[in-house]
Structure 1
Amino acid sequence: MGEHRGVKFPREVLDRFSSLGVDLPSYFSAGHLGTRMGIEVVEAAPEKVVGTMPVEGNTQPYGLLHGGASAVLAETLGSVGAMLHGGPEKVAVGVDLNCTHHRGLSSGHVTGTATPVHRGRSTATYEIVITDESGRRVCSARLTCLLRDAPRPPATA
């Protein structure tokens, strides 16, 4: 396992992206929304993506973890897995997200783990299980991403 900016990547993933001249840390991101919500991806591979998110700052008016925050964590982790599966030649675009919320939380952190259900040439589906600090399931989610060809840089003269 190699590490970039605190995220553990399998060596073959790092090698695959760098061999094509792709700067993985700039290509790989939780995005602006994920950053504002405090999402931290701690492990990333096509077979498994793990990330955390604080409950504080991501609550609804009753003080409980917002279901939409769980959805953002789920889509972030599943999209990262799909992106790594597709490689630098593809862009992962979420097309379907389903979340079932099992329990409310008012404090602490949640951990999401995304594992593949299907990894094909044009789509990838991930199951994302979000748990509390005691390992109790908070949310079950499923994300399907379309794998589109990555835009090619303009030819130089």
Structure 2
Amino acid sequence: MDDITKNKILESCAKYSKNTLMETLSIEYIDVGDGFLKAKMPVNSKVHQPMGLLHGGASVALAESVGSAASMLFSNPETDEIRGIEISANHLKSKREGEVFATAKIIHKGKTLHLWEIKIEDEEGNLISLCKLTNIVMPKQK
């Protein structure tokens, strides 16, 4: 994938994030390639649980956001909508500050179902959470 195509995709992801949870959580899409999409999210008080650690729900929101956006890479946004129908997460390590990076990689790309593995890692590449997301591709609702 050339740099112009990558930039167009990342700009499109940013556009779809305006006035959404992704903007609230400061999720930024930073890389894309064949079969993957990567985003980052700052770890600060906006995404902490009461003990001052990254909230598992914020990690799941990051995972579902990047996995759903990644499904759009294989769909036509003019005719299709993506809906997450199942997500699971294993939280393996805590994080208090800095950034986390979520990379969604396609496991199965069917006509109507997409299965993604999303690894959330810290700046050093330590695995924070491992998630699995199933999306359904549906005709766009009017």
Could you state the TM-score of these two structures normalised by the residue count of structure 1? Answer: 0.79
Query: Residue in 1 aligned with 2:51?
Result: 62
Q: What percent identity do the matched residue pairs reach?
A: 30
Deviates more, 1:126-135 or 1:28-37: 28-37
Deviations 1:58-96, CA, capped at 9 Å, x for gaps: 100000000000000000000011111122331110000
Q: Based on CA coordinates, which of the two structures has the bigger radius of gyration?
A: 1
Query: Residue in 1 aligned with 2:26?
Result: 38
Question: Which structure 1 segments of 5+ residues have no match?
Answer: 9-23, 153-157
Query: Residue in 2 aligned with 1:105?
Result: 95
Query: Residue in 1 aligned with 2:73?
Result: 84
Give 3-state SS (helix, strand or coil) of 2:89's partner.
Answer: strand
Cα separation, partners in 2 of 1:54 and 1:26, compared to 1, 3 Å: closer
Deviations 1:127-155, CA, capped at 9 Å, x for gaps: 00000111100000010011001246xxx
Query: In structure 1, how many angstroms separate the alpha carbons of the residues matched to 2:13 and 2:122?
Result: 28
Does residue 147 of structure 1 match 2:131? no
Query: Residue in 1 aligned with 2:114?
Result: 124
Cα separation, partners in 2 of 1:98 and 1:60, compared to 1, 3 Å: same
Count of residue pairs the alignment pairs up:
136
| RMSD (CA atoms) | 2.1
Question: Which structure 2 segments of 5+ residues have no match?
Answer: none
Once the two structures are TM-superposed, the CA of residue 31 in structure 1 deviates from its matched residue by 5.8
